């Protein structure tokens, strides 16, 4: 047996747990090896000194203090039990919902303050709308509609305050069409600015006849067109609609104004 093999078995040798043949082999080596004999002596000395140490004793109140700690922990668990699933969800949602609720609230405040700031403007707009609608009601008949062609009856009714002295032009008549044609120069004939003043007799059925020319137009065709239009159809609405006299003499001032497109 070598020193290395002997040193690995020394602890068991000292405790006397080796089998007899192995113990004999170790004894044989120890007889011839002073180094291993010194190791054995050292082990035995250590072992003796360890045995002479007193066994540490546990504190007397160790068991009771552990029991007390367990009781306290159990009581704490009963007082603050594990939160229910719903409560845990609420706790989880709270910090996530809060920024949204804060911003929503801020939006409401912003809206209210903006509305308050613009209130004078809204009031002014409303006043303007009321005035505008009052004006419309005054100017037009109850059946007034921008999207519909002007009807003769409506036009006459709208002119009620003045119709007794001034016959209402028939919006569908030839004279109205003639004045409308001034706005649309026909073909190559360039229309110069021109004007004339004529006197006409207006009859109960709305037809009219030229009575006198106070101021002739520079372009004679203007006067000729006027006469043709008067012959073509009734220039005015019937006298009964206007509540005007059956026959009356009126003075026409017809003006053509040259408004070039580029003037706009
Ligand atoms: Zn040895």
Gap from CA of 40 to ligand 1 centroid (Å)? 10
pLDDT of 77 reads 84
Does pLDDT of 187 surpass 50?
no
201: β partners: 209, 249
Gap from CA of 8 to ligand 1 centroid (Å)? 11
Distance of CA 214 to the CA centre of its chain: 67
CB 201 within 8 Å of CB 247: yes
Q: Which residues surround ligand 1, an ion (CB under 5 A)?
A: 3, 33, 36
Gap from CA of 71 to ligand 1 centroid (Å)? 60
SS (H, E, C) 92-125: HHHHHHHHHHHHHHHHHHHHHHHHHHHHHHHHHH
pLDDT of 58 reads 83
Alpha carbon separation from 113 to 102, 108, 123, 229 (Å, rounded): 16, 9, 16, 63
Gap from CA of 2 to ligand 1 centroid (Å)? 6
Max mean pLDDT among 12-21, 127-136, 180-189, 235-244 falls in 12-21
Q: Calculate what percentage of the chain has a pLDDT beyond 70.
A: 87
* C-alpha–C-alpha distance, residues 164 and 161, integer Å: 7
Gap from CA of 37 to ligand 1 centroid (Å)? 7
pLDDT of 30 reads 93
pLDDT of 13 reads 92
pLDDT class of 188 with cuts at 50, 70, 90: very low
Does pLDDT of 136 surpass 70?
no
pLDDT single digits (tens) 60-84: 888 899 999 999 999 888 887 777 7
pLDDT of 183 reads 62
Q: Find all residues with CB under 8 Å of 199, minimum gap 6, and list them.
A: 210, 211, 212, 213, 214, 249, 250, 251, 252
pLDDT of 146 reads 63
Mean predicted confidence (pLDDT) in 110-131? 82
* C-alpha–C-alpha distance, residues 257 and 259, integer Å: 6
Gap from CA of 47 to ligand 1 centroid (Å)? 20
pLDDT of 190 reads 52
pLDDT single digits (tens) 162-173: 778 888 888 888
Gap from CA of 80 to ligand 1 centroid (Å)? 68
Mean predicted confidence (pLDDT) in 225-246? 87
Does pLDDT of 264 surpass 60?
no
pLDDT of 103 reads 77
Mean predicted confidence (pLDDT) in 207-213? 89
Gap from CA of 52 to ligand 1 centroid (Å)? 29
pLDDT class of 262 with cuts at 50, 70, 90: low
């Amino acid at each position: 047996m070598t020193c290395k093999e002997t040193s690995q078995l020394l602890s068991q040798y000292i405790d006397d747990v080796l089998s007899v043949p192995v113990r004999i082999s170790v004894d044989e080596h120890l007889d011839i090896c002073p180094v291993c004999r010194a190791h054995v002596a050292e082990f035995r000395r250590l072992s003796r000194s360890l045995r002479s140490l007193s066994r540490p004793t546990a504190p007397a109140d160790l068991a009771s203090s552990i029991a007390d700690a367990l009781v306290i922990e159990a009581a704490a668990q009963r007082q603050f039990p594990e939160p229910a699933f719903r409560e845990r969800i609420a706790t989880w949602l709270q910090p996530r919902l809060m920024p949204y609720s804060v911003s929503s609230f801020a939006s409401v405040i912003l809206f209210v303050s903006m509305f308050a700031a613009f209130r004078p403007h809204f009031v002014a707009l409303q006043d303007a709308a009321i005035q505008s609608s009052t004006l419309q009601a005054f100017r037009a008949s109850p059946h007034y509609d921008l999207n519909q062609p002007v009807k003769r009856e409506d036009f006459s009714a709208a002119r009620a305050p003045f119709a007794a002295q001034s016959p209402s032009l028939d919006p569908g008549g030839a004279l109205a069409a003639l004045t409308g044609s001034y706005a649309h120069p026909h073909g190559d004939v360039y229309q110069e600015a021109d004007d004339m003043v004529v006197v006409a007799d207006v009859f109960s059925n709305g037809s009219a006849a030229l009575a006198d020319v106070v101021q002739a137009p520079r372009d004679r065709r203007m006067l000729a067109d006027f006469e043709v239009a008067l012959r073509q159809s009734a220039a005015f609405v019937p006298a009964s609609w206007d509540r005007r006299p059956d026959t009356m003499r009126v003075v026409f001032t017809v003006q053509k104004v040259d408004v070039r497109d580029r003037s706009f």
